[in-house]
Chain A
């Protein structure tokens, strides 16, 4: 194994090179831009034979991706924040047409006020679209998640698109050691995409994306629900095979010193690395603190999260998003789907630093259960 030092954006581009898609329509946007740059270079250098389409907007990027996927080929695109928001209309169409597109989202705050910095509001706001969503903690996981995403999305029992989310700047523009797998192993894990449900071929004419009257629409949506729930088995199988071939194990959630913990923090993405350090400090002081990192957010791993947190008396859920007047989305979904009383904390919006002291503050605050969502890290003098 040769470890190379690279950003998560480069790791994602390396994964795309290995997955070898036929069409890559992308529009650059901070902090995703280097993904599209690396891919443009791969195509220009002849490292991959994909058709690289320089579209004029993100709405066009995802539209071209959907059109290309409709011809039955493998497709990749990437975006962030305002770009994802501009894609919104076609995001739902891609899932509804069951196009197994894989997209990377560099998590960034949504305007206004305009911000280029990290939070997860952009992808969380697309949670009801029918896309699968994975939140990576580091560059290696970003690379691996792209490969697993293709495998799961293209499975004939799933056929739903996937979004691999990486925290803007924190992951996209910092480097860490990444093992780039060999092409032979990747080909073993990820066979070529063979569509059989819907693709445009003059020899086998069909219409896709047609008008649907009330006699059919609800069944089509119900099928999506079954496919997304059923995707859990496919993800578990793909994770197991991935571990066998590449030696790295992924699950719906990651449990960090949480098995015997009285206090458990639940979070997604890169902040979990900070939380692990804070957990270690508290453990050194004899406090039974643990972390449950939610990796796969859609399909929502209700059973896995519940099994991991039900034994704790204090639970704090961190959200880098806000559904105004309701609170953090992960927090509310956990309380809605599980027999637990978790406390909700809004952190890190628009790139606000989340310091170890904030995590310790949250651990302290989980000792009193309250229904009020608490905002951590606000500048008191600005309030």
Chain B
């Protein structure tokens, strides 16, 4: 239920807003091709790729920057 005036009374509620639902194209990483250069981790504007190169699809908006910056083309953008 929405509170009166849509006031948010508990901190951290941004986590509940799964922005991954905005995505049209989904980045798929081929770990065989990956050279672990960390480019995608550093360029991801949402911090959605961790040190093990797992992509957090709950919050990845599908911007495709990771695929663009990958020097070995290990990330493919696939339509959802």
Residue numbers of A with Cβ under 8 A of B are 96-99, 159, 197-198, 204-208, 210, 212-213, 216, 219-220, 223
A197 near B4: Cβ-Cβ < 8 Å: yes
A219 near B7: Cβ-Cβ < 8 Å: no
Residue of B nearest to A210 (CB): B8
Q: Which of B4, B8, B13, B17 contacts A223 (CB 8 A)?
A: B4
A96, B11: Cα distance in complex, Å = 21
B5 near A206: Cβ-Cβ < 8 Å: no
Q: Which chain A residues lie closer than 8 Å to B1 at the CB level?
A: 219
A96 near B7: Cβ-Cβ < 8 Å: no
Query: B9 in the interface, Cβ–Cβ < 8 Å?
Result: yes
Q: Which chain A residues lie closer than 8 Å to B11 at the CB level?
A: 205, 207
Q: Which of A99, A213, A219 contacts B5 (CB 8 A)?
A: A99
Q: Which of B4, B8, B17 contacts A207 (CB 8 A)?
A: B8
Q: Which chain B residues lie closer than 8 Å to A198 at the CB level?
A: 3-5, 7
Q: How large is the interface on B (under 10, 10 to 19, 20 to 34, 35 or more residues)?
A: 10 to 19
- Provide the B28-71 mask, 1 if CB < 8 A to any CB of A, else 0: 00000000000000000000000000000000000000000000
Q: Is the interface of B mostly helix, strand, loop or mixed?
A: loop
A19, B17: Cα distance in complex, Å = 41
A207, B16: Cα distance in complex, Å = 15
Query: B6 in the interface, Cβ–Cβ < 8 Å?
Result: yes
Q: Which chain A residues lie closer than 8 Å to B7 at the CB level?
A: 97, 197-198, 206-208
Q: Is the interface of A mostly helix, strand, loop or mixed?
A: loop
A98 near B5: Cβ-Cβ < 8 Å: yes
A220, B3: Cα distance in complex, Å = 8
Q: Which of B4, B8, B13, B17 contacts A98 (CB 8 A)?
A: B4
- A and B contact pairs by CB, cutoff 8 A, 28 listed: A96-B5, A96-B6, A97-B7, A98-B5, A99-B5, A159-B5, A197-B3, A197-B4, A197-B5, A197-B7, A198-B3, A198-B4, A198-B7, A206-B7, A206-B8, A206-B9, A207-B7, A207-B11, A208-B5, A208-B6, A208-B7, A208-B8, A212-B6, A213-B17, A219-B1, A219-B2, A220-B6, A223-B2
Q: Which of B2, B5, B8, B11 has the most CB of A within 10 A?
A: B5
Q: Which chain B residues lie closer than 8 Å to A216 at the CB level?
A: 2, 6
A223, B4: Cα distance in complex, Å = 8
Residue of B nearest to A207 (CB): B8
Residue of A nearest to B21 (CB): A213
A360, B2: Cα distance in complex, Å = 52
A258, B8: Cα distance in complex, Å = 49
Please give me the 9 A-B residue pairs with the lowest Cβ-Cβ distance, nearest first: A98-B5, A198-B7, A197-B4, A207-B8, A219-B2, A206-B9, A97-B5, A198-B5, A220-B6
